[in-house]
């Protein structure tokens, strides 16, 4: 693949990941907060702690999306994304293991997302 096309694909990947993080954060904070409360309530987390976790998670997601768009310290941003996705995946696997078999794939989608982050990381490494 020639370098121009590869560069365009990496840029598209960065925009796609940014959209994913920002949209997920906004959804968690403003549009589907009840899903977060319900999921946390299943393991006995409610009240202030649930509100804090949902708010912090949403804010972290939005900040990651904005960080990606800035393209500053892109390799570090990729590492942080992987750590957060792995953490979210492990926590959700303990809280709601049935999500692994959910038809919309809320956990299994993390696998191709991690691959895309890896491609962005490798491209940033070679730049």
Please state, in angstroms and rounded to a whole number, the distance separating the CA atoms of residues 125 and 100.
32
What pLDDT is attached to residue 90?
95
Q: Per the structure block, which two tokens stand in for 9?
A: 């694909």
Cβ contacts of 80 within 8 Å, gap of 6 or more: 64, 67
At 40-89, the pLDDT tens digits run 998 899 999 999 999 999 999 999 999 999 999 999 999 999 999 999 99
SS3 content of the chain, % helix, strand, coil (to 5): 85, 0, 15
- Burial of 65-84, coded b for 16+ CB within 10 Å and e otherwise, reads bebbbeeeebeebbebbbee
Please state, in angstroms and rounded to a whole number, the distance separating the CA atoms of residues 113 and 19.
12
At 81-107, the pLDDT tens digits run 999 999 999 999 998 898 899 998 889
At 17-31, the pLDDT tens digits run 999 999 999 999 999
Please state, in angstroms and rounded to a whole number, the distance separating the CA atoms of residues 122 and 73.
13
Give domain limits for the chain: 3-126
What pLDDT is attached to residue 127?
62
Q: Are 114 and 20 contacting, i.e. CB atoms less than 8 angstroms apart? A: no
């Amino acid at each position: 693949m020639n370098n121009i096309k590869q560069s365009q694909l990496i840029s598209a990947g960065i925009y796609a990941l940014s959209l994913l993080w920002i949209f997920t954060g906004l959804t968690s904070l403003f549009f589907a907060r009840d899903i977060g409360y319900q999921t946390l309530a299943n393991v006995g987390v409610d009240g202030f702690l649930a509100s804090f976790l949902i708010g912090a998670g949403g804010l972290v997601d939005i900040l990651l999306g904005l960080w990606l768009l800035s393209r500053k310290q892109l390799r570090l941003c990729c590492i942080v994304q992987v750590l957060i996705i792995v953490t979210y995946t492990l926590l959700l696997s303990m809280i709601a293991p049935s999500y692994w078999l959910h038809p919309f794939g809320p956990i299994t989608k993390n696998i191709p997302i991690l691959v895309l982050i890896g491609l962005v990381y490798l491209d940033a490494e070679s730049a």
